[in-house]
A and B are shown apart, each in its own frame.
Chain A
Amino acid sequence: MRRLWLLGLTALTALLLVIGLRGDPHAVDLANRLAVPSSSYLLGTDHLGRDLATRLAWGAVPSFTAVAIVLAAGLGLGTIAGGAMALGPSSIRGAVRWLAETALALPTLVIALVLSAGLGAGAVTVALALIVTSWAPYALTIAALFERIRGEQYWQASLALGSDLPPALRRHMLPNAWPALGALAGADAGRAVILVASLGFLGLSADTGRPEWGAMIHEYRLFLFSDPRLPLAPILACAATSLALHLGLDRTGG
C-alpha cells in the first residue's frame, strides 16, 4: 500500500517536473507581478512576474544532483570502507574504524562552508561535504553485518561449496544489508536536499541567478507576511522532497 502511494507520488513529481522544466524560469513579466495562481501561472508569479511553478521545478535540479552524487559515493565508499574494516589486515582495520568514528562527529555544515570558500558552492561542494561526513555510518553498519554473517552457516556453506567472494557477497550479504543501508540512504538523501537549500539560503549557491530552493526562500522571505505563497512554496517543496526520500528509502519502518 505504502509502496503504491510512493510510486504514485514519484510519478506525479516527475510529471510536474517535466511540465515545469519546459518553461523559462527567468522570463520576467512585469505586467503580471505577484499574480495569484491561474491557468496560465499554476502557482502564480513572484515579485518580478516570474512563473513560480517553473522556478520551483528548476530549483529541484541542484537538489537532485546532490542526492544522486551522495547516494552513489556514500554507498560505494561506505561499502569499501566497511569491507576493509571487516576483512582487511588488522592495521588497516583499526585505522579505518578510527577514521569512521571521527567522521561521525564532523559538522556537515562547517565542512560545506570551508569547502565552498575554495571550490565555490554548488551541488559538487554539497555532495563532497556530505560524503566526507556520511560514509562512516554505512561503513560501520556494513562492518558489523560482515562480522555477524561470517558466523552464519549459510555463509560458510556457500564458501565451502566453492563460490567466489564477490558473488557470495552479492547473494548473501546485500539482501541482509539493504534494510539498514536503505534507512541510512534515506536520511542522507534527505540531508542532501536540506544542505543544498541551507547553503542557498545562506547566499552560497553556485550561481545566485539560477533558481534553487534555498536561494528562493531567501529571496522570498520578505514576502512571508504579504504573500506567504512565495516563501511557502519552496519551503514545502524542500521539506516534502526530503521527507519523501526519507520515508521512501527507509524500509525498516514497514
Chain B
Amino acid sequence: MSPLAAVARTGGRIALSWLLAVAATFLLLRLMPGDPVTIFLANMGVGGGAETAAAYRAQWGLDQGLAAQFARWLAGFVRLDWGLSFETGRPIVEDFAHRVPWSAAIGFGGLGLAVAFGLSLGFFAALTPDGLADRISRAMAVAGQALPAFAVGLLLIWVFGVQLRWIAPFGGGPVERLLLPVLLVALFSTGSIARLVRAGFAEVRQSPYHRTALAKGLSRLAALWRHGRGAATLTLIAGLAPEMAWIVGGTAVAEIVFGVPGLSERVVQAVAHRDYGVLQAYVALIAFWVAVTLQGAGALRRALDPRAA
C-alpha cells in the first residue's frame, strides 16, 4: 500500500470510530431521564413557563428529530461552536480552552515518563530474569492494578508536601502544580509498560540472531539492546491501547486529587448538575484522543513491522 493510501485509511478509521463513539454518547445522553431545557431553566433561575421553555427548545433545535439534532450538534462541534453550559450559561469551548492544556500536560507528561521508566525497567528485567528490576516491575504492575490512584495521590501529598516539604501541592507555578500529578499517572502506567517491554525483549532472547550476537562477542547488555529494542518497541506499541484508555481516567483522578483546574474538575461538576452539553463535548474530545492514539499506533505498527501489514 502506498503511504498516501495508508494515511487515508487510518484517517478514515479514526473518523469512523470517533463518529460511532460520539453518536452512541449522544443517543445515551438523550435517553437519560431529565429534559435539558428544564434543567437549564432551573439552573439559571429563570422563571417562565411553557413559552420560555418552548422558545429555548426551538432555539436549541430540540423540537426536531434525533438525527437532525445530532447533525446540528456535529456541524456546531467541527466549527468550534460547542453550545452553552447548562450550569454556567457560558460557551463550553471557551471554558475548555483554558482547561485542556492542564489535562494534556498531565496526560502526555505521565505517558512520556511512564514509557521512559517502563522501557528501562523492562529492559533490565529481561536482562536478568528474577533480578531486582524484574521483581520491581512485577510489583509495580500488580500495584498499578490493585491500588486506588487517588489514595496513592493523597499519600504523595502527605509525603512530599507535609513530611518532606519539597513542594507546596496546591500552589506555586505550573511546573510545581503539575509535578505530582504527572508522577502519579506515570507511576501507575510504568508497571504494565515495563511488563510489555520485558515480554518483547524476552522473545528476542530466545532467537538465533541473539545467540549469534553473543557468539560474536557482544556483551549481554549490548546484544539484547541492539537486537531487541526493535521487537520491544513493536510489542509496546501493540499493547499500549489499554494504557491509553487508562491515562484518561488516571489524568482525571490526578486532577481532582491535586486540585489542578483541568477538564476533569469541570466534568465532575457537569455530572452532578446533568450538564449534558459539557459531557458530550468532553466525550467527543476523549473519543478523538483514544481513536487517534489507537489507530495511530496500529498504523505505526504496520509501517514499522512488515509482518503486520
Q: Which residues of A contact B (CB under 8 A)?
A: 102, 104-110, 113-114, 116-119, 133, 187, 190-191, 194, 197-198, 201-204, 214, 217, 221, 224-225, 228, 231, 235, 238-239, 242-243, 246-247
Task: Return chain B residues, CB-CB under 8 Å to A239.
Answer: 146-148, 151
With the chains together, A105 CA to B297 CA distance in Å? 12
Identify 18 residue pairs between A and B in the complex whose beta-carbon atoms are under 8 Å apart, listed by A's number: A105-B241, A107-B249, A107-B290, A109-B252, A110-B248, A113-B271, A114-B25, A114-B279, A116-B271, A117-B32, A117-B279, A118-B33, A119-B32, A198-B148, A214-B148, A239-B146, A239-B151, A243-B147
Partner of A114, one of B29, B154, B241, B272: B29
Min Cβ gap A182→B in Å is 14
Number of chain B residues close to chain A: CB under 8 A:
44
Query: What 3 A-B pairs are tightest by C-beta distance, nearest first?
Result: A118-B32, A109-B249, A107-B248
Quick check: is B48 within 8 A (CB to CB) of the other chain?
Answer: no
Quick check: is B136 within 8 A (CB to CB) of the other chain?
Answer: no
Q: Which residues of B contact A (CB under 8 A)?
A: 17, 25, 28-29, 31-34, 142, 145-151, 154-155, 157-158, 162, 241-242, 244-246, 248-249, 252-253, 256, 267-268, 270-272, 274, 276, 279, 282-283, 286, 290, 294
Task: Return chain B residues, CB-CB under 8 Å to A247.
Answer: 142
Task: Return chain B residues, CB-CB under 8 Å to A108.
Answer: 245, 249
**Extra contacts besides A107-B246, A118-B32, A204-B271 (12): CB < 8 Å:** A106-B245, A113-B252, A113-B271, A117-B276, A194-B149, A198-B148, A201-B150, A202-B256, A224-B158, A224-B162, A239-B151, A243-B147
Task: Give the one of A114, A191, A217, A231 with max B CB within 10 A.
Answer: A114
Min Cβ gap B221→A in Å is 28
- Decide: A231 and B154 in contact? CB cutoff 8 A: yes
With the chains together, A224 CA to B271 CA distance in Å? 27
Min Cβ gap B251→A in Å is 10
- Decide: B268 and A113 in contact? CB cutoff 8 A: yes
- Decide: B29 and A225 in contact? CB cutoff 8 A: no
Task: Return chain B residues, CB-CB under 8 Å to A238.
Answer: 148, 151
Min Cβ gap A202→B in Å is 5
Min Cβ gap A243→B in Å is 4
- Decide: A109 and B248 in contact? CB cutoff 8 A: yes
Known interface pairs A117-B274, A118-B34. Does A246 touch B146 (Cβ–Cβ under 8 Å)?
Answer: yes
With the chains together, A29 CA to B38 CA distance in Å? 42
Task: Return chain A residues, CB-CB under 8 Å to B33.
Answer: 118
Task: Return chain A residues, CB-CB under 8 Å to B268.
Answer: 113, 202-204
Min Cβ gap B135→A in Å is 13
Task: Return chain B residues, CB-CB under 8 Å to A190.
Answer: 145-146
Known interface pairs A197-B148, A246-B145. Does A117 touch B29 (Cβ–Cβ under 8 Å)?
Answer: yes
Query: Residue of B at shortest CB range from A235?
Result: B151
With the chains together, A239 CA to B155 CA distance in Å? 13
Min Cβ gap B233→A in Å is 20
Min Cβ gap A160→B in Å is 37
Task: Return chain A residues, CB-CB under 8 Å to B286.
Answer: 107, 110
- Decide: A191 and B145 in contact? CB cutoff 8 A: yes
- Decide: B270 and A117 in contact? CB cutoff 8 A: yes
Query: Residue of B at shortest CB range from A224?
Result: B158
- Decide: B142 and A246 in contact? CB cutoff 8 A: yes
Min Cβ gap B156→A in Å is 11
Query: Residue of A at shortest CB range from B151?
Result: A235
Task: Return chain A residues, CB-CB under 8 Å to B151.
Answer: 197, 217, 235, 238-239
Partner of A117, one of B162, B271, B294: B271
Task: Return chain A residues, CB-CB under 8 Å to B241.
Answer: 104-105
Task: Return chain B residues, CB-CB under 8 Å to A110.
Answer: 248-249, 252, 282-283, 286
